[in-house]
Amino acid sequence: MKVLVISAGPRHDGNSHALADAAIDGARAAGNDVEHLFLDDYVERLLGNCRLCRSPQDGRCSLDDRYAELLLDKILPADGIVFAMPLYFYGMPGRLKTVFDRLFCYTANSAPEQETVVNGIAGKTVGVLISCEESYVGATHGVAAQFQELTRYLNQNLVGIVVGNANSRGEIAHDPSDPLARARDLGGRLFDIRVTDYRIDTARSNRVWSGS
């Protein structure tokens, strides 16, 4: 399977990158094809007014960064995506939020890539890795809820969120909850983690695990 690991933090040697490295190790050990990238190499521009900034020639987004390459050539072909991020003011970094904001430009009715993006973005397996200075459990609840809603809207499966506590570079390795091991496990089991989200009319067995 193809796994894309996206580091959303600006520090290429920071704690969220250490979590990304651990997930990469786990995903590769499980036999997956893994690609890792840093978001600041691709996303520079914020969402604008599509009525004004669409190219008049072909209707495509005219913002001059590498977002289209990220979306069309990296995100859409991936079977699974792992987002690694530091917590910024109790939410995701602005550059990562821009990734989701600018999806509008590619999924709106007027977008020439609409069908390709809508069909290609669904069905993916998603994991999230968060480096957070605070150990207060509520600190990351907002961003966790945001990812839950984003993945549900996009018809994706959110299989796990790993939170590690750290501030100085590299100190996440000293978190006694061992977030690096948990990130490695998430990467290794990305496509094996069972996710259920029942509705009242969902057909299901009365057993959670086969063979139990």
Average pLDDT, the chain: 92
Q: What's the mean pLDDT in 16-20?
A: 96
pLDDT value of position 199: 87
In the chain the first and final C-alpha atoms are separated, in Å, by 28
Average pLDDT over residues 124-142: 95
Asked if residue 32 belongs to a domain, the reply is yes
If you average pLDDT over residues 171-193, what whole number do you get?
Answer: 97
SS3 per residue for the chain: CEEEEEECCCCCCCHHHHHHHHHHHHHHHCCCEEEEEEHHHCCCCCCCCHHHHECCCCCCECCCCCHHHHHHHHHCCCCEEEEEEECECCECCHHHHHHHHCCHHHHCCCCCCHHHHHHHHCCCEEEEEEEECCCCHHHHHHHHHHHHHHHHHCCCEEEEEEEEECCCCCHHHHCCCCHHHHHHHHHHCCCCCCCCCCCCCCCCCCCCCCCC
- CATH number, position 161: 3.40.50.360
Predicted confidence at residue 11, as pLDDT, reads 86
The pLDDT value given to residue 62: 74
pLDDT tens-digit map of 41-79: 999 887 777 666 777 777 677 778 899 999 999 999 999
Residue 209 lies in a domain: no
Quote the pLDDT of residue 181. 98
With pLDDT > 90 as the criterion, what percentage of the chain qualifies?
A: 71
Residue 194 in any domain: the answer is no
What pLDDT does 27 receive? 98
Give residue 149's pLDDT.
96
pTM summary value: 0.93
- What's the number of domains the chain is made of? 1
Q: Per-residue pLDDT tens for 78-88?
A: 999 999 999 99
User: pLDDT: is 200 or 181 the higher one?
Assistant: 181
> Is 52 part of a structural domain of the chain?
yes
Structural domain boundaries enclosing 140:
2-188
**Residue 127: inside a domain:** yes
Q: What was the pLDDT predicted at 111?
A: 83
Residue 50 has what pLDDT?
66
**Digit-coded pLDDT (tens) for 139-174:** 999 999 999 999 999 999 999 999 999 999 989 999
Query: Considering the domain boundaries, does residue 202 fall inside one?
Result: no
212 domain-assigned: no
Residue 199 in any domain: the answer is no
Distance of CA 140 to the CA centre of its chain: 15
Nearest to 72 by CA among 86, 83, 57, 61: 61
pLDDT at residue 171 in the model: 94
